[in-house]
A and B are shown apart, each in its own frame.
Chain A
């Protein structure tokens, strides 16, 4: 199941919480972060990369450069949240949620943006959860204790590519640690227990 992450920046506590609840209701795998002001919003963005941002442009005050940069940076993935239709800066955003919108309208608007995000993520990431032969080989090397660089040398690929493979393996299998992958490799006969101690 694809996991979506949303960051909401809205000053009104009631509106923010209400939106969080509504979004979670419809998508259980959603992770939502919240910010009540620009400062905390920026600090969350410092370490967290949401798929979608929903922000109230009013918080940024007029003449703030940021508010013009954000829709640009998040391209189709930024949504404005506003008390009225005619507020400053709203037109910068591809989609606007209004306080007066009904539940179904909000969901429809958010869903449209979800659609864009899915498209961006590309077909590759969404493809099945079975690991490929190549990935199996890499799991085998990982279980044998090889480093990324060693794996790269053996397969004549860059370490960067090895890292990408590892990320895909972890996502597909739901196993993050080397020892976890080792157990997986043994259970699936990719290696023998005796191989490990060599």
Chain B
């Protein structure tokens, strides 16, 4: 299913409730009644075309953003990606950490095993933070700088300034699998942990891990399918000038 400007916003959620996260990052709140995507976006001051590209790419693994992509600026894309990063570090990860903490405090017989789970998730959270920091501090500024440069080029035709030593090729190479540890953690809890006291809490943690894993995977895909091609195009443009 491909979402269009006429699709009801509520139908997006029914089709894939993980899209709630995307709406969240765009600052769209619930309660949209029967309004269409276009309508809701307009009300929230969001460009509906851009929202749809992201929502479709997020929802359907095989969706490939079309030419419309060129209409969106890198700063728009980066802004969305940064919000996603912020959401992971400030909301999702602390939420899961909190749940594990509650599990430990309520556990009587297997506290030690749960401590292991906590420290393992801590390692994951460090890995995620490092990954995000790298993108926020190196990859995104690089992409923005390129865009800025291209803009100035159109206006004044100034000679290229020095772009710092980075390239999308390098990004693709190092854009590693960010979900391996989550995958491991799920299996550890599902298969190898001794039975804990509070099943419900354990389920909560698992549901959250499944959902975070999917979200991170979809997020990486958006980086690779939307940001990367856009930046590569600019790289080509610039190397053509040199």
Q: Please report A residues at the B interface, Cβ cutoff 8 Å.
A: 173-177, 179-180, 183-184, 186-188
Contacts and interface: CB of A to CB of B under 8 A. Distances in A.
Contact of A187 (B113, B180, B184): B113
B184 A177 contact: yes
Given A174-B187, A187-B113, A179 B123 contact: yes
A62 B123 CA distance: 55
B148 to A, nearest CB: 33
B191 interface: yes
Nearest to A170: B184
B180 A183 contact: no
A44 to B, nearest CB: 13
A179 B181 contact: yes
Contact of B180 (A173, A176, A184, A186): A176
B117 interface: yes
Contact of A184 (B181, B183, B192): B192
Contacts, number: 42
Interface of B: 113, 116-117, 120, 123, 180-181, 183-185, 187-188, 191-194
A176 B120 contact: no
B217 to A, nearest CB: 14
B194 A187 contact: yes
Given A187-B188, A187-B194, A177 B117 contact: no
A194 to B, nearest CB: 12
Which 6 pairs across A and B sit closest by C-beta, in order of nearness?
A180-B184, A174-B187, A175-B184, A176-B180, A183-B116, A187-B192
A128 to B, nearest CB: 14
Nearest to B183: A176
A175 B187 contact: yes
A187 B193 contact: yes
A183 B188 contact: yes
B180 A177 contact: yes
Given A179-B123, A183-B120, A173 B113 contact: no
A180 B180 CA distance: 9
A28 B173 CA distance: 31
Given A186-B116, A187-B116, A180 B185 contact: yes
Contacts of B188: 175, 180, 183-184, 187
Contacts of B194: 187
Given A173-B187, A175-B188, A180 B120 contact: yes
A176 B178 CA distance: 12
Nearest to B179: A176
